[in-house]
Amino acid sequence: MPAQTVEELAHPSIDDRVARGRDAAGLTPPSIHSGWRPAVDRPDPVALLEAQNLTREPDLVPVRHGRMMVSPFTFYRGAAKIMAADLKDTPAAGLEAQLCGDAHLSNFGLFASPERRLLFDLNDFDETLPGPFEYDVKRMAASFTIAARNNGFPKADTRVPAMASVRAYREAMATFAQMRTMDVWYASLDEDELMRGIRGAVAETAKGQGKKGKKAKKRDKAAKRAAKVAEKTREKAHTRDSLQALSKLAEVVDGRYRIVSQPPVVVPERELRTMYGLSPGEVEHVIRDQFRRYQATLQDDRRHLLERFEIVDVARKVVGVGSVGTRAFIALLQGRDARDPLFLQMKEATASVLEEHLVKSRYQQHGERVVQGQRMMQAASDIFLGWTKGLDVHRHFYWRQLRDMKGSPVVESMVPLGLGYYAGICGWTLARAHARSGDPVAIAACLGDGDAFDRSVTDFSAAYADQNERDYEQFVGAVRSGRLEAVEGV
């Protein structure tokens, strides 16, 4: 039997890593991101969305359009493919990390670790792929500019959150560059640390006001209100589990729970049979087969735990904004009895929007691509993350818990002070995620000690927010003209 070859990995010294970062900065200075302009041959943004719709559920495509029509902010959430096409022409220093691929501010939030700690982290990885670290930073920063405009901030305040997110990213990366490898890997932001930071920010706001005039008192009041909202978000996250989902999504019929029909958002399996042309027996066989294949991707201990549950019901459930129309299902499982529920989500994973412009994923199964990317970037991940192929083998899925103490701030209600603080923790979190897979020493050396990178990416964010508004108007025009169909309010 021939000996198995093992790839020889390079382990450059700290000095070599710093030199690599500085060389990258010499070729791509941190200030280079200012002055962005769309490419002359920029593709039609509406056509890019139409191309995505070809593989989506036809009855849900209008729902997706309706959700994107709400505002330029919601449009941006669904426009990752458009921005990926724009980012491919932007400068990059050649330093790669595992990318979220869609690091806008609404894809950060709270969830429970396996140890039942509430963590703040990235929470959406449908587009994850290795690539230039700048792509994620720009997607994140632009989302803060767009959110600030959406919230009606004064013009002077619209740049502040984007600048705060990039500055936090750069400063956090400098910190990670000085840390030991295992300390970087174990770094996380839990609920206690998060709340301490918020209370500290409120105290600093109050302390720095001096003699309080009307404007200072208003700012102080806003800071205290933001802290209360954060506390409520944390408390609500603790209640969001499978038992709470049972009360919202299920009903008792003939002594057994089943998922409530709420079309088109929730369509139970009993109503899906005709949609997919399957008999009741075929539907049950498909579900059981999918579940077995998914279990095979779990660690032995987690598979053993999941075997204690049985499937009670399945439904199609619409999720998010950009994901609407991809196939997404929920499964209600039961443990010891009907009051021991577990909700799992099975979500379709298509090719990352970045794969048209970067090296394709090493994983042929896109569900596995999502799961492995999530595990690489998150401080802790759902114990039931797994993947499988669909009945149509060309469709790939990943599985996770539907609700596991998940919580997200209501960005649309944030005032400048709150959005600025939120931007800082998102920037820190993204830097930590990149430091786990990329080289924090080289990236930190590339970014440097000054604020040139912060200012140039903030300038990019303003220019891209302008372009997003133009794309939004073109999109709305396509709906009004009948080119696209939209169902609003769903």
In 3D space, the residue among 433, 417, 428, 454 whose CA is nearest the CA of residue 198 turns out to be 417
Instruction: Tell me: pLDDT of 374 over 80.
Output: yes
How far apart CA 431 and CA 437 sit, in angstroms, is 10
Helix residue ranges, H only, 307-451? 366-377, 416-437, 440-447
Local confidence band at 227 (pLDDT 50, 70, 90 cut-offs): confident
Decide: 321 and 68 in contact? Cβ < 8 Å.
Answer: yes
Q: What is the pLDDT of residue 1?
A: 46
Tokens of 191: 């609920």
The residue type of 298 is: L
Per-residue pLDDT reduced to its tens digit, 229-252: 888 888 888 888 898 989 999 999
Largest CA distance in the chain: 81
Q: Is the alpha carbon torsion for 406, 347, 133, 15 positive or negative?
A: positive
139-163 burial, b if ≥16 CB within 10 A, otherwise e?
A: bbbbbbbbbbbbbebeeebbbbbbb
Q: What is the pLDDT of residue 261?
A: 94
Q: Is the alpha carbon torsion for 411, 415, 418, 424 positive or negative?
A: positive
Average pLDDT over residues 186-202: 87
Per-residue pLDDT reduced to its tens digit, 104-139: 999 999 998 988 889 999 999 999 999 999 999 999
How far apart CA 172 and CA 184 sit, in angstroms, is 11
Q: What is the pLDDT of residue 7?
A: 67
Q: pTM, whole model, 2 decimals?
A: 0.94
Per-residue pLDDT reduced to its tens digit, 451-463: 999 999 999 999 9
Per-residue pLDDT reduced to its tens digit, 399-419: 999 988 888 888 998 989 889
Residue 246 vs residue 278, higher pLDDT: 246
Average pLDDT over residues 10-39: 96
| Strand, coil or helix: 258 | strand
Q: What are the residue ranges spanned by the domains of the chain?
A: 242-401
